DNA sequence: GTGCTGTGCTGCATAATTTGCAGCGTGACC
DNA sequence: GGTCACGCTGCAAATTATGCAGCACAGCAC
């Protein structure tokens, strides 16, 4: 869309904080870009950048405009996907922000399944914690989010929610491996592998431990859910994960035992999008498929 | 916004159904406009007009695009008004769709009051019946609507609602003029002046009459609420109006008596806007003022 | 049929706009 | 005090849009 290229230029200037650097990115000279920005500001009726000795910084009006630009680009891509839909071919791009837990099994499977039906739909997947995920929706960086226990859900419109008990991960020969459910106090006797503090699973475990009057002292704390899942294979340590991040049939050398809801109440995995914003056709169809998958 | 002029051109072509006529409107030659439309369609990835021997007609993709264009223009004007608000000066334009009843007293007063505080805000007021009003919101022709008993309110987000008993309008020397309330059967004994069938007041009266097993036989049926209000001055006829359309202090030669709620249940006057759409600053402030005025 | 009128479309020369180049002035940093 | 990066600007070249004239086609009146 050549007539909207000025928007991309504005975004570039904002990103680089410098006309000269942004100009390089736009394959244009700085003078040309400079004049386009100036012409735009004149038309817009107000400056959108603050000129500081270090370069360009968006002012309040610019922030407002940037919000508009992103929304507008999102709407345009939605219209495009609807138009593509009209001609029978289902094309489009789905942008997903999700928790790490969805990465190993759930999303790869669901995306493959969707693409087997609509091969012209492409995807982008960004791992975001529950705070960043909401930001991604607001920035129009993502169409839909799939997050465990989101922090504040004011702008988050829920498509589907599913309960996820916190589940202990251990090697198949662990003393507790044969149990149906576990109490938290039993787990604490072993070495613990916990996700970092910003994650929902950790938050639920901490809350439960403090109710027991105990403190969690992990031998390994990590931001990688893969580490939490795989470390217990090589020791008697116990990791924690939510069921959607586990695949019982994949590894017979591991055991997955849910923690009793009496101790740890579990949390909700939410599938949602930005409130008041219509989804592109492809994103909507994919969201429906995911919602159906989560229901089982 | 020169870079968005193509949108106005598309709207012009749609409006005139002809490139040549639209070109005249755009102060451009038909060949230039023709090429711009073609270039746009190429970029957009799909034709948006159907070429018929009579000229150009939007196709399905074009309808989608037009919806996008209107929404986008609305959002832009909203951003503009927010930006103007930043610099202290409150500027902007408020577009109102309303029932006829609001025209004689209510809106002129409220608009004047608002403009005495913010003289740089301009208004457009369009009289729309309750079906057209919702359409006006959908087309972004209006920011807010003020309608009596809207027909279907799926896309209508209510800001404020106020009950309006149906009120009889008669000359001050009418036999019923001194009464506190009137029964419908009393009114029917006199000549009736009724608004046309599409209006809410008429609908409520018809429903009430059929409950009484009576049929309304107006001596004068009109689309003009002014006629309904003024005709009774010169005869013993009775007209009907809602309180917001009446101004007790203005005319001492007229009497206004509410119909008993036992007969005619009255209706709601709704102030609202399009669901899921943020209002420009000026429209929002004005809506708040109107809501406050309606509360009294 | 036969003009006639309207439609969208197109080749080409021209007008308008945008761009690149080079250079200016300014403030931050060492 | 020198260097660097910044935004900005005059001017000529390159690119793009426009206007003119004319084409092919479809509907319509006679």
Q: Say yes or no for a CB contact (<8 Å) between B86 and A4.
A: no
Q: Is the pLDDT of residue A185 over 80?
A: yes
Residue A19's nearest nucleotide, by CA–C1', is D7
> Residue A77 — φ and ψ, nearest 5°?
-65, -30
Q: Three-state SS for B179? A: coil
pLDDT digits (tens, 9 = 90+) for A14-23: 999 999 999 9
Strand C–CB B59 distance below 7 A: no
Residue numbers in B near A44 (CB within 8 A): 1, 80, 83
CB count within 10 Å of CB B80 equals: 23
**Higher pLDDT residue, A121 or B13?**
B13
Q: State the average pLDDT over residues A9-16.
A: 94
Which chain A residue's Cα is nearest to B6? A3
| Percentage of residues in chain B having pLDDT higher than 90 | 57
Residue A29's nearest nucleotide, by CA–C1', is C20
Q: Say yes or no for a CB contact (<8 Å) between B79 and A86.
A: no
Question: What pLDDT, on a 0 to 100 scale, did the predictor assign at position A135?
Answer: 86
What does the mean pLDDT of chain B come to? 90
Q: What six digits make up the tokens of B83? A: 């930006």
- Per the DSSP assignment, residues forming a β-bridge with B167 are B241, B258
Q: Say yes or no for a CB contact (<8 Å) between A79 and B60.
A: no
> Can you say whether residue B140 is alpha, beta or left, with left for phi > 0 and alpha for psi between -120 and 50 degrees?
left
Question: What pLDDT, on a 0 to 100 scale, did the predictor assign at position A253?
Answer: 85
Q: Give B231's DSSP letter.
A: G
Closest CA to B160 of B280, B292, B286: B292
Q: Is the pLDDT of residue B239 over 90?
A: yes
Residue numbers in B near A6 (CB within 8 A): 3
Strand C–CB B19 distance below 7 A: yes
Q: What six digits make up the tokens of B170? A: 């008669």
How far is the C-alpha of A188 from the C-alpha of A182, rounded, in Å?
A: 11
Question: What pLDDT, on a 0 to 100 scale, did the predictor assign at position B157?
Answer: 87
Torsion of CA A159, A164, A170, A176, to 10 degrees: -160
pLDDT band at B277 (very low <50, low <70, confident <90, very high): confident
Closest residue to D17 (CA to C1') is B32
Question: What pLDDT, on a 0 to 100 scale, did the predictor assign at position B153?
Answer: 74
Q: Say yes or no for a CB contact (<8 Å) between A86 and B61.
A: yes
Question: What pLDDT, on a 0 to 100 scale, did the predictor assign at position A48?
Answer: 95
Residue with tokens 């589907």: A160
How far is the C-alpha of A90 from the C-alpha of A86, rounded, in Å?
A: 8
Q: Is the pLDDT of residue B173 over 80?
A: yes
Q: Is the pLDDT of residue A258 over 70?
A: yes
Q: Is the pLDDT of residue A195 over 70?
A: yes
Q: Is the pLDDT of residue A249 over 80?
A: no
- Per the DSSP assignment, residues forming a β-bridge with B130 are none
Q: Within its chain, how far is the Cα of A102 from the centroid?
A: 9
Residue numbers in A near B3 (CB within 8 A): 3-4, 6, 40
> Can you say whether residue B220 is alpha, beta or left, with left for phi > 0 and alpha for psi between -120 and 50 degrees?
beta
Q: Residue B216 in contact with residue B209, Cβ under 8 Å?
A: yes
Question: What pLDDT, on a 0 to 100 scale, did the predictor assign at position A89?
Answer: 65
Long-range contacts for A203-208 (Cβ within 8 Å, ≥24 apart)? A203/A149, A204/A149, A204/A166, A204/A264, A204/A265, A204/A266, A204/A267, A205/A166, A205/A240, A205/A264, A208/A184, A208/A259, A208/A263, A208/A264, A208/A265
Distance from CA of B97 to the nearest CA of A (A): 23
Beta pairing class for B121-127 and A121-127: unpaired
Burial class (CB in 10 A: 0-12, 13-18, 19+), A42: exposed
Residue numbers in A near B60 (CB within 8 A): 83, 86
| Percentage of residues in chain B having pLDDT higher than 70 | 99
Strand C–CB B37 distance below 7 A: yes
Strand C–CB B208 distance below 7 A: no
Q: Is the pLDDT of residue A180 over 90?
A: yes
pLDDT digits (tens, 9 = 90+) for B4-36: 999 999 999 999 999 999 999 999 999 999 999
Q: Say yes or no for a CB contact (<8 Å) between B68 and A75.
A: yes
> Residue B121 — φ and ψ, nearest 5°?
-90, 130
| H helix intervals, chain B | 5-16, 19-25, 30-44, 60-86, 106-117, 130-138, 184-188, 200-211, 225-230, 281-295
How far is the C-alpha of A137 from the C-alpha of A142, rounded, in Å?
A: 5
Q: Residue B79 in contact with residue B92, Cβ under 8 Å?
A: no
Q: Say yes or no for a CB contact (<8 Å) between B3 and A3.
A: yes
Q: Say yes or no for a CB contact (<8 Å) between B64 and A82.
A: yes
How far is the C-alpha of A130 from the C-alpha of A148, rounded, in Å?
A: 7
Closest residue to D26 (CA to C1') is B53
Residue numbers in B near A46 (CB within 8 A): 83-84, 87
Q: State the average pLDDT over residues B69-98.
A: 87
Residue numbers in A near B64 (CB within 8 A): 79, 82-83, 86
Q: What angle do CA B87, B93, B98 make, to 5 degrees?
A: 145
Question: What pLDDT, on a 0 to 100 scale, did the predictor assign at position A88?
Answer: 67
Question: What pLDDT, on a 0 to 100 scale, did the predictor assign at position A223?
Answer: 85
- Per the DSSP assignment, residues forming a β-bridge with B238 are B192
pLDDT digits (tens, 9 = 90+) for A75-103: 999 999 889 888 766 778 889 999 888 98
Q: Is the pLDDT of residue B224 over 90?
A: no
Q: Say yes or no for a CB contact (<8 Å) between A68 and B75.
A: yes
Cβ within 7 Å of nucleic strand D, residues: A 2, 13, 18-21, 30-31, 34-35, 37-38, 51, 53-56; B 27-29, 31-32, 35-36, 39, 53-54
Q: State the average pLDDT over residues B265-288.
A: 89
Q: Is the pLDDT of residue A176 over 90?
A: yes
HEC per residue, chain A? CHHHHHHHHHHHHHHHCCHHHHHHHCCCCHHHHHHHHHHHHHHHCCCCEEEECCEEEECHHHHHHHHHHHHHHHHHHHHHHHHHHHCCCCCEEEEEEECHHHCCCHHHHHHHHHHHHCCCEEEEEEECCHHHHHHHHHCCCCCEEEEECCCCCCCEEEEEEEEECCEEEEECCCCCCCCCCECHHHHCCCCEEEECCCCHHHHHHHHHHHHCCCCCCCCEEECCHHHHHHHHHHCCCEEEECHHHCCCCCCCCEEEEEECCCCCCCEEEEEEEECCCCCCHHHHHHHHHHHHHHHC
How far is the C-alpha of B40 from the C-alpha of A2, rounded, in Å?
A: 9
pLDDT band at B88 (very low <50, low <70, confident <90, very high): low
Task: Name the residue facing B64 among A3, A40, A83 (closest C-beta).
Answer: A83
Strand C–CB B54 distance below 7 A: yes
Q: Residue A90 in contact with residue B79, Cβ under 8 Å?
A: no
Which chain B residue's Cα is nearest to A80? B44
Q: How far is CA B222 from CA A36, A255, B192, B227, in A?
A: 56, 80, 11, 7
Closest residue to C11 (CA to C1') is B31
Distance from CA of A82 to the nearest CA of B (A): 8
Task: Name the residue facing B75 among A1, A6, A71 (closest C-beta).
Answer: A71
Question: What pLDDT, on a 0 to 100 scale, did the predictor assign at position B152?
Answer: 74
Q: Say yes or no for a CB contact (<8 Å) between B64 and A43.
A: no
Strand C: which bases are under 7 Å from protein Cβ? Answer: 6-11, 18-23, 26-28
Q: State the average pLDDT over residues A238-256.
A: 86
Q: Say yes or no for a CB contact (<8 Å) between A3 and B1.
A: no
Q: State the average pLDDT over residues B187-199.
A: 90
pLDDT digits (tens, 9 = 90+) for A37-67: 999 999 999 999 999 888 999 999 999 999 9
Q: Give B44's DSSP letter.
A: H
């Amino acid at each position: 869309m050549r007539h909207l290229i000025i928007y991309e230029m504005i975004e570039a200037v904002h990103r680089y904080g410098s006309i000269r650097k942004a100009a390089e990115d736009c394959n244009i000279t700085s003078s040309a870009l400079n004049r386009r920005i100036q012409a735009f500001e004149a038309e817009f009726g107000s400056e959108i950048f603050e000129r500081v000795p270090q370069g360009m910084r968006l002012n309040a009006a610019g922030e407002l405009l940037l919000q508009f630009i992103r929304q507008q680009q999102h709407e345009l891509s939605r219209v495009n996907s609807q138009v593509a839909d009209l001609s029978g071919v289902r094309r489009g791009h789905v942008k997903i922000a999700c928790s790490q837990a969805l990465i190993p099994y759930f999303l790869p499977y669901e995306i493959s399944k969707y693409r087997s039906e609509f091969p012209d739909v492409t995807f982008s997947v960004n791992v975001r914690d529950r705070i960043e995920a909401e930001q991604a929706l607001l920035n129009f960086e993502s169409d839909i989010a799939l997050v465990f226990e989101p922090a504040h859900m004011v702008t988050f419109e829920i498509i589907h929610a599913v309960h996820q008990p916190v589940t202990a991960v251990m090697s198949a020969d662990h003393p507790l491996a044969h149990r149906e459910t576990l109490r938290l106090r039993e787990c604490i006797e072993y070495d613990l592998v916990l996700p970092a503090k910003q994650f929902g699973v950790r938050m639920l475990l901490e809350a439960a431990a403090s109710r027991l009057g105990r403190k969690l002292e992990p031998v390994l704390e990590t931001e990688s859910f893969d580490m939490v899942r795989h470390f217990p294979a090589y020791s008697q340590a116990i990791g924690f994960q939510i069921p959607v991040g586990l695949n019982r049939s994949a590894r017979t050398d591991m055991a997955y035992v849910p923690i009793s809801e009496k101790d740890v109440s579990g949390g909700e995995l939410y599938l949602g999008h930005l409130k008041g914003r219509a989804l592109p056709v492809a994103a909507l169809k994919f969201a429906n498929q995911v919602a159906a998958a989560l229901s089982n």
